[in-house]
Amino acid sequence: MSETLIPGGNTLAVPAAPPAETRVMRMRNFWSDYRRSWVAIAALIVIVALIVGSFGAPWLVPQDPYDLANLDWLDAFLPPGTEGSGGYVHILGTDNAGRDMLSAILYGLRTSFVIGISAGALALTVGITIGLTAAYFGGRIEAFLMRIVDLQLSMPAILLALVMVAMLGQGVAQIILALVVAQYAYFARTTHGAASVERRKDYIEAARSTPLPTRRIMFKHLLPNVLPPLIVVATVQVASAISLEATLSFLGVGLPLTEPSLGTLISNGFKYIHAGRPWLSIYPGLFLMVTVVAINLVGDQVRTVIDPRNSR
Amino acid sequence: MTAALEVRGLTTRFETRGGDVTAVNNVSFSVEKGRILGLVGESGSGKSVTGFSILGLIDPPGEVCAGEVLVDGNDLRKLSDEDMRKMRGNRVAMVFQDPMMTLNPVLRVGDQMAMAVRVHRKMSKAEAWEESRKALDTVGIPSPEERLRAYPHQLSGGMRQRVAIAMALLHSPAVIIADEATTALDVSIQGQILAEVRDLADRTGAAIVWITHDLAVVSSLADDICVMYAGRIVERGTAEQVIGQPRHPYTKGLLDSIPARHEPGTPLPQIPGSTPQLSRLPSGCPFRPRCPRATEVCATEPPVVTVDGQTVLCHHPLERT
Amino acid sequence: MTDPILKIDHVSKRFTRMPGLAERWVGKLTGGGKPVVVHALSDVSLEVTKREVLGIVGESGCGKSTLGRVVAGIYAPSDGSVTLHGKPIAREHGGNVDKLTTQVQMIHQDPFASLNPRMKVGETLAEGPRHHKIIPANQVRERMRELLEKVGLEGAYADRLPHQFSGGQRQRVAIARALAMEPEVLVLDEAVASLDVSIQAQVLNLFMDLRRDLGLTALFISHDLSVVRHVCDRVAIMYLGRLVELAPADELYAEPKHPYTQALFASVPTVGTGKGRFEAIKGEIPSPIDPPPGCAFHPRCPFAGPRCRAEVPRLTGAGTARTVACHLNDGGVEMKTEAAA
């Protein structure tokens, strides 16, 4: 019978798969989805500008505001836009020590970014390890770890951070440690949620029955598949670490006055807010707000783009 | 005799990143009262989208962009949203693969069935409850009173699917569309439900469109069969014609690849290649790259060939013997 | 008959779900809150000889997938043992599977779930052999290409991610992953059930080719009777965690002996038998949490007598090719019925 279709033989006519999708193509797709919101693009531009501005501050601004040799008492409390003794315009004015506010804010922002990003990254690492371990092993280990995390999530992060700072003392490293303790639980919870779902999928079972070593399954198989939602949490947590640090410094338990920080700047200017010099508090506050909002907007858009329900 | 359901030139498109995709392409068929039409196809053939398109259940980025769907002579596509809602569940009903698409998990079966009755008809709660009991009886559910008082999660998968079918039957619809309704069930339970569906079509005169990937199911259940490939109906005829004398090379290939038709252990005739992606179809006949009979002419749109009511969309249909 | 290489010896598997703390407290008042035990496998014994393909058939809840996972070492048996060449497949350690053989490999049902979506196919294939040093490190890449070609794909596909493949191609990758470990026994759990009909034939052909070329021994788990008949030498029918019938495929299909097997065969729709010929089994599949006493099939069995309700039928004709667990086959229900009356 001539109608019979091509018989047996397994290597026959398997069609070519679509061209290999490269990392570049994935990035391009991601970007084409990301840029559909102009707000998100604006937020991204703001963040990039702030990062460049703060880390490039030593080369960009005329004054190192924390080098006492550069300060002149005569320049104290200059309103924004006044030219000072250094022969340049203080765009955002000066403070009680004659510090250029713009320079101080950019230096402070740099500290904020360093603290926010390193606290976020460390908390992410700790949280992932705890969340993955709990989800992978299950049973009593899971119950124990996740109850601790739940307990901690039921307390306000600021309270925990305060207690930690009180115990550890002031300083950048201490603040970072306090923030990690206060924030790792969010990462642990998110990781645990995502990993518990992935854990039940067949590819994990296949890896276990091969068998592959536990560490490899956890970090090569589970982790890459729970990472996308964590990236979103991480962005939001960096923003919240930045504002937590500012809060602690504002309360006077964060960084010492000698260290540049948005929180100390706001706190310092707060004394003069009713003395006709509101810019001392308002400008650092504005920078803090813009930074936090911009990071959150970017995080939101990333969440929208990577959500499979929104894929087209 | 007029058809209970007639579909003419139905076309549904989806907008995707890679451009527009035609999921249902110029699909036409009709089902008469009391008959069962099997709509068979593999994944991506557009069989489920056809079902959803008939009921006006396509959401953006998809759109039904052409065609008519006639039920009792009325074109469903011309109805307002409000009239369409009245039509659904009343004159036209749908049964899904997952009965929990129909059932509300927090309501007792009887409560939700009675509610469904009273949406379209004015009657007391007790009467509606009695109506529901009768519907459960129709689909062969033992001790229906007990089931009415149960919550969906207290029922087995097969029982839930039967309740979903009973709900579809509440208003004695003219047309029932069932999408892979027994696919998730065990064979012994599937057998029970198929026997009841056959019986239902005979007794109530409902026209049934049974959408499935399973040739064995349609071959033993349906009166007529439509075979879909890449959004088109490539072959249409009575079950005897399509199963006994397939004329489209694709239908023939599908039937040949069923193990039961061959000596155990022997190589199975296989259709080479994989099921097509709708975004990257070749010109002309979509089956062309996998077809053993394909020639150069197949790059042009295939003609519709009809002999004795058996319709094939093919340049080189198989000869009737 | 050659000596069996794989022995499943009186294996039972129970899953216990302990109630939560709150459930236990409420349970104290209402009398509930006790652990729920699912009897997934009860006293199953099977032997598989070299180069044999044994089909395992049954409906949901029959324990066929649990049996496959016990053989693949994913679950440790609650009772009994699974041995390959006399050595246990998995060593248990504190209730968990500890030391597991690489000699049994499993192929899952859904190729969309069984491949790590973020790992390149080549890496998925290579990681097992590399870790267990089955292939010398400098040859891994080359061997993976050969393997991909052996299962009908191109060697160049090694650099792609699973989502770039169709369902049939993914299942070929999953088969290649299992073969990469050079296993003695394959467990295929509904390996073609989620594939389209036209693709299913391709994968079955591939399996039969590989079996011929490599001399595979396999457990072929499926609900599809026609697929099982096509590729299996012997077939075991399971119902509610127990083995009810075991026979060479041709004999079983020619003359099923257990009433459940007969009913199962009758309720399967086949192509071309004509309309409305389902001889349905009555009733529902009972829950494995609370299986019926005696023969588990008795509530649905047209021949059931009092003995079936009281006594679990044993597999008769043990050691011979055909065994059936039914009172009809070992002296009959009637005799006992009279004795009881």
pLDDT tens-digit readout, C136-166: 888 888 889 999 999 988 888 888 888 888 8
B9-13 mean pLDDT: 93
Which of A266, A293, A292 lies closest to A281 in space, CA to CA? Answer: A266
Cβ(A122)–Cβ(A72) under 8 Å? no
Is it the case that residue C221 has pLDDT exceeding 50? yes
Domains belonging to chain C, first-starting first, are 4-103+183-256 (3.40.50.300)
SS3 C266: helix
Angstroms from A312 CA to nearest CA on chain B: 5
Q: What is the pLDDT of residues A118-171, one digit of tens each?
A: 999 999 999 999 999 999 988 889 999 999 999 989 988 888 888 888 888 888
Q: Where are the alpha helices (DSSP H) in chain A?
A: 23-34, 38-55, 57-60, 101-137, 139-153, 157-168, 172-199, 202-209, 214-216, 223-250, 262-270, 279-306
What residue ranges define each of the domains in chain B, with the CATH number in brackets? 3-91+174-261+269-313 (3.40.50.300), 101-170 (no CATH)
The band of C331, judged by pLDDT with boundaries at 50, 70 and 90, is low
* CB contact residues (below 8 A), chain A span 8-67, against chain B: 8-9, 12-15, 18, 29
Q: Average pLDDT for residues A240-267, to the nearest whole number?
A: 85
| pLDDT over 90 at C237, yes or no | yes
Model confidence at C273, pLDDT cuts 50, 70, 90, reads low
State the amino acid at position B244 in one-letter form.
G
- The pLDDT confidence band at residue C278, using thresholds 50, 70 and 90, is low
**C285 and B268 in contact by Cβ < 8 A?**
no
pLDDT at residue A13, rounded to an integer: 36
In chain A the domains, ranked by start, together with CATH numbers, are 54-75+83-310 (1.10.3720.10)
pLDDT digits (tens, 9 = 90+) for C296-306: 898 888 888 88
Q: Is the pLDDT of residue A311 over 70?
A: no
Taking residues B231-253, what's their average pLDDT? 93
pLDDT at C334: 45
Provide CB contacts within 8 A for C334, sequence distance 6+: C305
Question: Nearest CA to CA, how far is C166 from chain A (Å)?
Answer: 8
Q: State residue C99 phi and psi, 5-degree precision.
A: -100, 125
The proportion of chain C whose per-residue pLDDT surpasses 90, expressed as a percent, equals 38
Residue of C nearest to B184 (CA): C60
pLDDT, position A16: 41
What is the C-alpha to C-alpha distance for residues B321 and B297, in angstroms, rounded to an integer? 24
Contacts with C82 (C-beta within 8 Å, 6 or more apart), sequence order: C6, C7, C8, C9, C11, C70, C71, C73, C88, C89, C90
Given this model, what pLDDT does residue A120 score? 92
Spatial distance between the Cα atoms of A249 and A261, rounded to a whole number of angstroms: 8
Contacts of C among chains (3+ CB pairs under 8 A): A, B
Are the C-beta atoms of B117 and B123 separated by less than 8 Å?
yes
pLDDT at C92: 65
For a pLDDT cut of 70, what percent of chain A falls above it?
A: 91
* Residues of chain C contacting residue A141, judged by C-beta atoms under 8 Å apart: none
Tell me, what amino acid is at A262? L
For C133, the token pair is 């040093």
Contact in structure between B260 and B280 (CB atoms under 8 Å): no
Per DSSP, the three-state class of C312 is coil
pLDDT-derived band at A72 (thresholds 50, 70, 90) equals confident
Question: Using one digit for the tens of pLDDT, what is the confidence trace for A201-252?
Answer: 999 999 988 888 888 999 999 999 998 888 888 888 999 999 998 988 888 8
Q: Does C204 touch chain B (CB under 8 A)?
A: yes
